[in-house]
Amino acid sequence: VESVESDTRGFDLISRRPSPDLARQSVETRFIEVKGRAAVGEIALTANEYKTAQRLGEDYWLYVVFNCASQPEVTTIQNPSRFEWEPLSKIDCYRIAAETILNDQ
């Protein structure tokens, strides 16, 4: 397992299951995003994580850890982009017209 969370690739970990027959060959590669919640609650993916999940399809896994604060329970989801995710908007900045500022003088 390789940690790549600081690389902003859209996932946190790369997990490779080696081939029993061929050295340095992988039978399966998982690109894993990990989300944790203190209790049970909704999960949000960043735009980058969601687009990466769409692009990687069955190779992308979401590991959700619910109840981190008490009794952690891990749920694994292969290809989470197959679900209907609700897009969220956030405010990036605020703007005001110059006239508003100038008329206040």
Tens digit of pLDDT for each residue in 43-70?
Answer: 999 999 999 999 999 999 999 999 999 9
User: How far is the C-alpha of 7 from the C-alpha of 41, rounded, in Å?
Assistant: 27
Query: What number of CA atoms fall less than 13 Å from residue 31's CA on the CB side?
Result: 18
Residues 25-41, mean pLDDT to the nearest whole number: 90
Domain containing 24: what range?
Answer: 2-103
pTM, rounded to two decimals: 0.76
Count structural domains, the chain: 1
Assign 91 to helix, strand or coil: coil
Q: Under the phi-then-psi rule, with left for phi > 0, alpha for psi from -120 to 50, and beta for the rest, what region is 24?
A: left
